Chains A and B, each alone.
Chain A
Amino acid sequence: AQSVTQLDSQVPVFEEAPVELRCNYSSSVSVYLFWYVQYPNQGLQLLLKYLSGSTLVKGINGFEAEFNKSQTSFHLRKPSVHISDTAEYFCAVSPSTGANNLFFGTGTRLTVIP
């Protein structure tokens, strides 16, 4: 079985400061990893995904994430945040073989302070 832990439920950060949102996963098989963003009153939108290859993955809106197999982590980073980045961010994992349903974390609320 797979599971995802997002340790920080809320992360406040000042505008133009860097941010890191943490994600750790647990799985007995190899996995694909995802970050989704949910803006107010909207559904989830794919930010980026790791399938294979380079462990540093770049996504939309200037976000990137690094897959660390030894630490079973997939932290999301942005060097300089904007007010418009205020949203809920979800990390998700799916097994790379067999039924590949997504398992989500509880989410991290990023609030960018002017």
Chain B
Amino acid sequence: ETGVTQTPRHLVMGMTNKKSLKCEQHLGHNAMYWYKQSAKKPLELMFVYSLEERVENNSVPSRFSPECPNSSHLFLHLHTLQPEDSALYLCASSQTRESGANVLTFGAGSRLTVL
């Protein structure tokens, strides 16, 4: 149990489907993140939420839509995806401070396949 739970673990969807990935953290952290992990590429930071406000959006296509209803939950809504969006999507959380390192705790990931 890592303290960060992601569902579903595996998802297969067509390009016209609408689906959502869910992340829940049980650590009392105040920041949550979505990363995309593709083979042979560095982890790509997609979105950052701090105190439930989106503080970073790294030029992610609008077919990915995040939602953070409270500090414990984070969603990634998926719509009209492309096959190149197939990847492992990792959620993470951290307790951000004014000073000191930002140590992330990751979930196990959601493996997405777009047909």
Contacts and interface: CB of A to CB of B under 8 A. Distances in A.
B44 to A, nearest CB: 9
B40 A51 contact: no
Nearest to B6: A43
Contact of A49 (B92, B101, B105): B101
Contact of B4 (A32, A43, A46, A104): A43
Interface in B61-76: none
Interface stretch (B11-19, B77-85, B106-114): B106-114
A94 B102 contact: yes
A44 B40 CA distance: 16
A55 B57 CA distance: 34
Q: How large is the interface on B (under 10, 10 to 19, 20 to 34, 35 or more residues)?
A: 20 to 34
Nearest to B101: A32
Contacts of A104: 42-43
A101 B4 contact: no
B103 A106 contact: no
Nearest to A97: B99
Interface in B1-57: 2, 4, 6, 40-43, 45, 48, 56
10 contacts: A4-B42, A42-B108, A46-B103, A51-B101, A94-B102, A102-B45, A102-B102, A102-B104, A103-B42, A106-B41
Interface of B: 2, 4, 6, 40-43, 45, 48, 56, 90, 92, 96, 100-109
